[in-house]
Structure 1
Amino acid sequence: MTAFQETGWAKINLALHVRARRADGYHAIETLFAFVDGGDAIAAEVADADSLAIDGEFADGLSASGDNLVMRGLALLRDLYGADRVPPLAVNLTKTLPVAAGIGGGSADAAAMARLVRRRFLPEIGDATLARIMSPLGADVAACVASETCLGVGTGEELSAVPGLRLGGTPVLLVNPRQPVATGPVFAAWEGIDRGPLFTGAEPRAGLLGARNDLQRPAIAQCPAIADILLELGALRPWLARMSGSGATCFALFDAAAERDAAAVLLAERHPGWWTMAGALK
């Protein structure tokens, strides 16, 4: 049988406001999710038993066991809908996005696995239902299911559209210093100061320019290279440059693809050790 394929689109947080620490140990946030037209690749075909193989630039150190979020997502759907509808699959994950990088990672891959299974075996399931099923795997998974620009509140899993913010096709450059950043310690180091909500009284793009990532300071304390990247990106005159998620990946949005491409070339010359990906927002 020919393998069927799906993409784990790179996620970025255009803004991330931390509002409070919750009693359950999580944080109340407001974040604007967006997605890039590139990411990890998943291919699968029906087999006698489930299996996962991982290749690609960032495959080293990833577990191919049942604990991998890709296989956990597959297991969730099979447990709910039965093995007669969701058969065993031989899965291959090509990992092109850096790990522990603030751009979706395992969440995007789990969501891609879910979309792949839905398209082939469970076409009646809508995005909202699929997001609800996958949400136990992580706060970002719900947004990654549809992989469309949206506002996330709560822990990030309560999603709504932002109709006035039309960013599809915006040229974007992602930059990572090839240093993983652990999410838990970054959230734990948040200062505990509520600096206000997203977009209050503002036109969406103007509000985005006035927004922030409240995890940027604690992430830089863990990975100082983030500050270097932001400094370099700011000098290239994008209309927005910010850290994504809990780091270490940063992004820059440009008005023209030629500006993005020139920035990518310049950064590659100055910092050949950094990882970059040029694309456009979906």
Structure 2
Amino acid sequence: MVTCSNLKIKAYGKINLALDIVGKRDDGYHMLNTVMQSVSCFDLLDFTLSEGEGIELTCKLDSFPKGEDNIITKAYHAFADFTHIDFGCKITVNVEKNLPSQAGMGGGSADAAATLRALDFMFDTRLTDEQLCSIGVALGADVPFCITGGTRLCQGVGEIMSNLPSPDCAFVIIKPDVGISTPEAFKKYDSISNPKRCNMDVLLRYIGGGKLFGICSNLFNVLEYAADREEIAHAVHELKNSGALSALMTGSGSAVFGVFPDIASAQTAAEKLSGWSYKCVCQPVKQGWEFVY
């Protein structure tokens, strides 16, 4: 059954308040210990059903891939394989792409998660979060988090999640011109003989108690140390100079976020920051997606 022929959904980005690597599986996947936070900057996906078959992607950005390799298309096929559904129509997805690529903000994962949520709603398949996440984890390690979102401790390859209270703060996110691919970041980590470690228990205690200064004192990303990029260090420096309580590279980079006590101080700081390929003032959000009615 089709519940609607048109649906818009926000695909919220994410940052990592902490990211540590605690092992590596036989298949090469790294075992993570990370705290992810959904943030209010987003891609907007507009789904339209029409006569025909298959899926078509449209986007104003020339650099946006529109073929079978796009993670939205992969999510469409994975959803069909899991549900055995015959869509019986053509699905056109127009993507308003705001989240940058090779930034560590989960832009592709957010789009995949939003696609699974949209298809589940439009075709009334009523999958549970667990079922959607089981589809999503095969698409990417961040997809299960983006399907749920909020503030979560994510372990394993990202599929083992525990809910956490969201911090009361705001963020400014900036991205240098340089991009860092996820495989490149993990390869660099693998070359380090004695990487620094995250004191995750302390961070989780401060998150649980809503202690922003304690949270800021314990932000950690092992991939930032592995990257050792001058552009990342400069972004961290600029955010702290603008008034951030702390600053950290998110995910595999190259975006860097600064933490501020409120949205007003974040906006004031953002006005001082210029010359970045991407800049966003945002706040924590409670889930990884939102329908737009």
User: What TM-score do you get using the length of structure 1 for normalisation?
Assistant: 0.89
Alpha-carbon distance, 1:85 to partner = 5.3
Q: What pairs up with 1:15-26 in 2 under 5 angstroms?
A: 15-26=18-29
- Cα RMSD of the aligned pairs, angstroms, is 2.1
Q: How far apart, in 2, do the equivalents of 1:33 and 1:86 lie?
A: 37
Q: What pairs up with 1:101-180 in 2 under 5 angstroms?
A: 101-122=103-124, 124-162=126-164, 165-167=165-167, 170-180=169-179
SS in 1 for 2:261: coil
On the 8 A contact 2:174/2:257 being kept in 1, the answer is: yes
Aligned amino acid, residue 241 of structure 2: A
Match of 1:212 among 220, 236, 248: 220
Cα distance change, pair 183–86 in 1 and its aligned pair in 2 (3 A): farther
Question: What corresponds to 1:187 in structure 2?
Answer: 186
Aligned amino acid, residue 242 of structure 2: L
Alpha-carbon distance, 1:120 to partner = 1.6
Are 1:253 and 2:259 counterparts? yes
Are 1:50 and 2:54 counterparts? yes
Question: What corresponds to 1:239 in structure 2?
Answer: 245
Alpha-carbon distance, 1:166 to partner = 2.9
Alpha-carbon distance, 1:236 to partner = 2.1
Runs of 4+ in 1 over 6 A off after TM superposition: none
SS in 2 for 1:136: coil
Q: How far apart, in 2, do the equivalents of 1:86 and 1:33 lie?
A: 37
Q: Gaps (5+ residues) in structure 1? A: none
Alpha-carbon distance, 1:49 to partner = 2.3
On the 8 A contact 1:171/1:256 being kept in 2, the answer is: yes
Match of 1:32 among 19, 30, 35: 35
Alpha-carbon distance, 1:36 to partner = 0.8
Residues 74-83 or 152-161, more deviating = 74-83
Alpha-carbon distance, 1:123 to partner = 5.1
Match of 1:228 among 230, 234, 255: 234
Q: How far apart, in 2, do the equivalents of 1:30 and 1:281 lie?
A: 20
SS in 2 for 1:184: helix
SS in 1 for 2:178: coil
Q: How far apart, in 2, do the equivalents of 1:125 and 1:83 lie?
A: 13
Q: How far apart, in 2, do the equivalents of 1:210 and 1:68 lie?
A: 36
Q: Gaps (5+ residues) in structure 2? A: 286-293
User: What TM-score do you get using the length of structure 2 for normalisation?
Assistant: 0.86
Match of 1:90 among 92, 97, 118: 92
Alpha-carbon distance, 1:74 to partner = 1.1
Q: How far apart, in 2, do the equivalents of 1:180 and 1:122 lie?
A: 38
Deviation string 1:66-93 (CA, Å, 9 cap, x unpaired) is 2211011111111222333574311111
Q: How many residues align?
A: 272
SS in 2 for 1:189: helix
